[in-house]
Amino acid sequence: MNDRPAACRAAEALGHDYDHYDPAFALDPHADYAKLRAACPVAYTGNYGGFFVVSRFRDLNEVLHDAKAFSSWPADTPPTPGHSRALIPLEVDPPEHRRYRMIIDPIFRPRAIGGMADEIRSRAAELAARMAAEREFDFMEKFGRPFPGAVFLRLVGLDFSVEQRDQLCDWAGTILHTTTEGATHGDVEAQTAARLKAGRALNTFLRGLLDERLETPGEDILSRLIDAELPGQRKMDYHEILNFAYVLVLAGLDTVTTALGFSFLHLARRPDLQDRIAADPSLIPGAVEELLRYEPIVHASRTVMESRVLGGTQLQPGDRVVLPLASAHRDEEAFPDANELLIDRKIASTLVFGGGSHRCVGMHLARMELTIAFEEIFRRIPRFSLPPDAVLETHGGQTRSLMNLPFRTWRDD
């Protein structure tokens, strides 16, 4: 993208450039986003090949609902070098996108996933009971990472194994954040190599699984995708199913992990909210929703296909835009007292799971996972806290990720 001299610059509004991969920024980006919303709501940065950051709820909403002018290909900023096959359905634009969603959506409807609730609950209960037996540990290691990994294994019909669960989390983490291979922020070459290696390993794992399901179909999601027909035409081919399974790992593990991590981080800082939820678990669905609003984790990206004026800024075909949902959901215009965590808040409209045609396939599953996790944890650990010397580690990128959460199953007060 050409340099854009006329555009409002993120670096001028912030006093430093915008970098959604910066780990420190990923931990608490809210003060910076407030500055961007006030001074430079569609801000240009020359980082990563140049892109615009859209920080207000209404502008972000407009982009998400205009797939004609804003293409989802490629989904990441910067795009991974060598990435040439669109991820299904994330990077496919309408009308083709609709055909995939017609297959996938029924599999993830509340009634369809409801049948998994008991098994999901027993995994959550098992992990929560182990935490309750200890005094101090890393919440992400004991619950945040293993729980969504276990749910994915159930989705694809694998017998539960701790090794496979942890391996899946490692691959997803490395592909999204290069977490396990030790590549540091800014070392683009090492990060790309680590991502490609993890991507190949995950692909090999999923191929093995798909081959098994082709031979011996079951009741799992892969078997249903093998059987499903694209409207009026054909079945999905091998590579399409593989591609979709790959997206499920990337989209479904790290997001829930980080949503759990940030939720319990904020609750650990708020004994009053802990006491209210423990005394009345019917508050849990509202608390889950408000915590998702308070700390959204996805940075969606789009490529401009048609000229548009957005928030007073002229965008041209070929421009890239990054959509930080964390900023939109602290926008006072959309959420009065946006910086307050109010678990009774009535949320009329949310983009936490995206909006428009690409709205999250897994949002009902994610809400179910989070609600069950809260219920099982609060039942056993109604009072908790952070060690005073807790140091938090984060990663940025397409999704922000909380890597650790030092946690105590008790409180002083």
Q: In the complex, what is the shortest distance from the CB of residue 400 to ligand HEM, in angstroms, rounded to a whole number?
A: 10
Residue whose C-beta lies closest to ligand HEM: 362
Contacts 24+ apart (CB under 8 A), 330-334: 330/30, 330/33, 330/34, 330/294, 331/37, 331/55, 331/56, 331/57, 331/58, 333/56, 333/57, 333/58, 334/57, 334/58
Q: In the complex, what is the shortest distance from the CB of residue 14 to ligand HEM, in angstroms, rounded to a whole number?
A: 24
Report the alpha-carbon angle 24-28-31, nearest 5: 115
Q: In the complex, what is the shortest distance from the CB of residue 35 to ligand HEM, in angstroms, rounded to a whole number?
A: 23
Beta carbon nearer to ligand HEM, 263 or 385: 263
> Across the beta sheet with 299-304, what order do the strands follow?
42-45, 51-54, 320-324, 299-304, 70-71
| Cβ atoms of residues 157 and 223 within 8 Å | yes
Beta carbon nearer to ligand HEM, 149 or 252: 252
Q: In the complex, what is the shortest distance from the CB of residue 292 to ligand HEM, in angstroms, rounded to a whole number?
A: 6
For residues 122 and 358, give the distance between their C-alpha atoms in angstroms, rounded to a whole number.
Answer: 31
Q: Residues interacting with ligand HEM, by CB under 6 A?
A: 72, 75, 89-90, 101, 247-248, 251-252, 255-256, 259, 297-298, 300, 325, 352-354, 358, 360-362, 365-366
Beta-strand pair 51-54/42-45: antiparallel
Q: In the complex, what is the shortest distance from the CB of residue 233 to ligand HEM, in angstroms, rounded to a whole number?
A: 19
Beta carbon nearer to ligand HEM, 40 or 248: 248
Beta carbon nearer to ligand HEM, 8 or 104: 104
Q: In the complex, what is the shortest distance from the CB of residue 354 to ligand HEM, in angstroms, rounded to a whole number?
A: 3
Beta carbon nearer to ligand HEM, 23 or 89: 89
- Reference 292, options 322, 333, 335; nearest CA is 335
**Residue 360 zone, left/alpha/beta (φ > 0; ψ -120 to 50; rest):** beta
Beta carbon nearer to ligand HEM, 352 or 403: 352
